[in-house]
Amino acid sequence: MEKNVATTLNIPGNGSQALHERRMKAVPQGPYHVTPIYVKEARGALVTDVDGNTLIDFAGGIGIQNVGHCHPKVLKAVHEQVDQSIHTCFHVFPYESYIALAEKLNEKTPGNFAKKTMFVNSGAEAVENAIKIARAATGRKAVLSFSRAYHGRTLMTMSLTSKVKPYKFGFGPFAPETYKIPYPYYYHAPEGVTPEEMDAQLLNQIEEMFLGEVTAEDVAAIIMEPVQGEGGFIVPSANFVKGIREICDKYGILLIADEIQTGYARTGKLFAMEHYGVAPDLMTTSKSIAAGLPLSSVTGRAELMDAPAAGQLGGTFAGSPVACAAGLAVLDIIEEENLCLRAQEIGEKMIARFKEMQNKYELIGDVRGLGAMVAMEMVTDRKTKTPATAAVAEIVKDTWKNGLVSLSAGLNSNVLRFLPPLVVTDEQLEKGLDILEASIARVQQNA
Ligand SMILES: Cc1ncc(COP(=O)(O)O)c(C=O)c1O
């Protein structure tokens, strides 16, 4: 199905409006959505709503559609599996696809050592399990996560997350023995401070924290997003990531890479940690792992993964055969269609266009990204870097009204972030960027 993006759109149309009215009555407001647009079908980088409007998708379901909506190979794998069995529960009757996908992840994740992989259903659940494994393996309790981190909505993952509203507000008390450490945010470095100096200062602050807050011998793990996602697409230097690895090695702390948003070719490598030449001890993945089916993984050093005894890990639906079949198809597609290379190309095109826009629109304070994980930080004043939160909300709304879905991010929700499916065509990419630029121009004019 190749559809044209309509030039005059009526969004939200009557069908979406009627569904929205029913939604507001039947569903609580908690499960938020960026748009009031109700989907009929989706293919590649295009989504068609119930009113027949087709939009370009630069959100990819928040990074779950790296291989594109309904890739024919994923559909084939899923159809074949549902014809055989839907779910027998791995804890009762195991099946080959779980093992085959574990073998592939053991082979393809960074780290030249023996690994094992287990599967659960969601990103948060993978992080929960990584923490369980780290605690069981080290016999230690404390976990360090970063400022501006996002790890999920369960008790432990909320506790590790560093944005209060909306994610944590009113939901405390949080899990004990969780501590925050600073993540480098070079765009906001004090004037005159170089990235190298910032890295050194922050790594030193972590060492000081071991004296003032929690002793290193009590720390089981440091969990780190290789590029912060919800935090605003913040990219650390290889030097900083290596520094974290060194701290972990020095004190016997495990390094957990949360690759849930960065994984599966998004950043131009299969996993973002490859950019830094650092192998984590444990890695969590989800989102694009199975092209939209609920699946997540924890991969790690074999001896750590075996620390919990039989029966201590798992879940009823964890690693369902349908999701694993999709997961195997996803890895094949990434290889066959060279999606790591395509992610680099998409990223380069987007960054080049964003830089052009930055010369025209004062609102654009910073342009950054890694591969096709790209963002613009919007500010009301380039000197003070004051967050342009309202402008970003307006741009997001203006884009979807005009046929492009985009997302915000950041502690101040003033970052426009883009996670287009990596199968987006050049034409769709250009068209999406045109819609985006027109929205920025309109909002800039009214600012
Ligand atoms: C880095 C990271 N970790 C964990 C999660 C939580 O994943 P889920 O929403 O599937 O629980 C997310 C979701 O956005 C994420 O980006």
Question: Distance, CA 287 to ligand 1 centroid (Å)?
Answer: 7
Complete DSSP assignment for 213-240: T--GGGEEEEEE-SSBTTTT-B---HHH
Q: In the predicted model, is pLDDT for residue 13 greater than 60?
A: yes
Same domain, 52 and 84: no
Question: How far apart, in Å, are the Cα atoms of 94 and each of 3, 99, 103, 118, 326?
Answer: 41, 9, 15, 13, 17
Handedness of CA 301, 302, 308, 310 (dihedral sign): positive
Mean per-residue pLDDT of the chain: 97
Quick check: CB of 152 below 6 Å from ligand 1? yes
| C-beta separation of 144 from 181 below 8 A | yes
Is residue 286 lining ligand 1, measured as CB closer than 6 Å? Answer: yes
Is 5 inside any structural domain?
A: no
CA atoms of 166 and 125, how far apart (whole Å): 20
Helix (H) or strand (E) holding 357: helix 339-360
Q: Are residues 22 and 107 in the same domain?
A: no
CB 365 within 8 A of CB 187: yes
Does residue 400 lie within any of the structural domains? yes
Evaluate if residue 298 carries a pLDDT over 70. yes
What pLDDT, in 10s, does the model give residues 308-362?
A: 999 999 999 999 999 999 999 999 999 999 999 999 999 999 999 999 999 999 9
| Interstrand relation of 415-418 and 407-409 (parallel, antiparallel or unpaired) | antiparallel
Show Cβ contacts of residue 228 under 8 Å, excluding neighbours closer than 6 positions.
146, 148, 149, 150, 183, 234
**Residue numbers of the domain that contains 96:** 73-336
> Residue 136 and residue 141: Cα distance in Å, rounded?
9
How sure is the predictor about 9, in pLDDT bands with cuts at 50, 70 and 90? confident
Q: Which residue owns the Cα nearest ligand 1 atom 10?
A: 123
Q: For residue 381, what is the domain's CATH number?
A: 3.90.1150.10
Which atom of ligand 1 is least distant from the CA of 153?
A: 11
Per-residue pLDDT at 447? 78
pLDDT, residue 4, reads 55
Instruction: Please give the structure tokens belonging to residue 156.
Output: 């432990």
Residue after which a domain boundary falls, among 288, 320, 336: 336
Backbone angles phi, psi at 368, to 5 degrees: -155, 170
Residue to substitute in 120, 122, 150 for testing ligand 1 pocket (most ligand atoms within 8 angstroms of CB): 150
Is 0.75 surpassed by the pTM of this model? yes
The answer to whether position 8 is within a domain reads: no
User: Ligand 1 atom 7: the closest Cα is on which residue?
Assistant: 123
Indicate if ligand 1 lies below 6 Å from the C-beta of 258: yes
Instruction: Encode pLDDT of 120-175 as tens digits.
Output: 999 999 999 999 999 999 999 999 999 999 999 999 999 999 999 999 999 999 99
User: Is residue 50 domain-shared with residue 192, that is, in the same domain?
Assistant: no
Judge if 91 and 54 occupy the same domain.
no
Helix (H, G, I), strand (E, B) or coil at 416: strand
Same domain, 279 and 346: no
Among residues 302, 320, 336, which one ends one of the domains?
336
Q: Whose CA is nearest to atom 4 of ligand 1?
A: 151
> Do 49 and 90 share a domain, yes or no?
no
Segment 272-279 mean pLDDT: 98
Nearest atom in ligand 1 to 228's CA? 1
pLDDT at 1: 42
**Helices 426-446 and 389-401 sit at what angle, rounded to 10 degrees?**
130
Do 191 and 104 lie in one domain? The reply is: yes
Same domain membership, residue 419 and residue 273: no
Q: Is residue 245 scored above 80 in pLDDT?
A: yes
The Å distance, Cα 356 to ligand 1 centre, comes to 32
Q: How far is CA 147 from CA 187, 216, 237, 344, in A?
A: 15, 19, 16, 27
- Residues 101 and 87 grouped into a single domain: yes
Q: What is the CATH number of the domain that holds 123?
A: 3.40.640.10
Q: Structural domain tally of the chain?
A: 2
Residue 9: inside a domain, yes or no? no
pLDDT for 7 equals 54
Check pLDDT > 60 for residue 34: yes
Measured from the Cα of 152, ligand 1's closest atom is 6
DSSP tag of 254 = E
Q: Which of 120, 167, 230, 260 to mutate to test the pocket of ligand 1 (most atoms within 8 A of CB)?
A: 260
pLDDT, one tens digit per residue, over 77-124 is 999 999 999 999 999 999 999 999 999 999 999 999 999 999 999 999
Residues 180 and 277 in one domain: yes
Residue from 261, 284, 288 whose mutation best tests the ligand 1 pocket (most atoms within 8 A of CB): 261
Rg (CA), the chain: 22
Q: Are 276 and 224 in contact, with CB atoms under 8 Å apart?
A: no
pLDDT score at 278: 98
- Distance from residue 286's CA to the centre of ligand 1 (Å): 8
Atom of ligand 1 nearest to the CA of 259: 1
Q: Examine residue 176 and say whether the peptide bond preceding it is cis (omega within 30 degrees of 0).
A: no
In the reported structure, the alpha carbon of residue 28 is separated from the centroid of ligand 1 by a whole-number distance in angstroms of 21
**CA–CA separation, 73 and 76 (whole Å):** 5
Percent of the chain with pLDDT over 70: 98
Testing ligand 1's pocket by substitution, the residue of 154, 259, 287 carrying the most ligand atoms inside 8 A of its CB is 287
410 lines ligand 1 (CB under 6 A): no
* Residue 389 within a domain: yes
The count of residues in the chain is 447
* Residue 91 tokens, joined: 């804890």
319 lines ligand 1 (CB under 6 A): no
Distance 295 CA to ligand 1 centre (A): 12
Question: With a 6 A CB cut-off, is 261 part of the ligand 1 pocket?
Answer: yes
Please identify, among 292, 317, 336, the residue that sits at the C-terminal boundary of a domain. Answer: 336
Tens-place pLDDT, residues 247-266: 999 999 999 999 999 999 99
What pLDDT score does 8 carry?
Answer: 63
Residue 383 domain-assigned? yes
H/E run at residue 364: strand 364-370
Confidence of residue 302 (pLDDT cuts 50, 70, 90): very high
- Is position 194 within any domain? yes
Mean local confidence (pLDDT), 210-219: 98
Q: Please indicate, yes or no, if residue 4 is contained in any of the structural domains.
A: no
Output b/e per residue, 74-100; b: 16+ Cβ within 10 A. beebbeebeeeeebeebeeeebebbee
Cα 124 to ligand 1 centroid, rounded to whole Å: 6
Q: Is 422 exposed, middle or buried (0-12, 13-18, 19+ CB in 10 A)?
A: buried
Is 256 found in the same domain as 318? yes
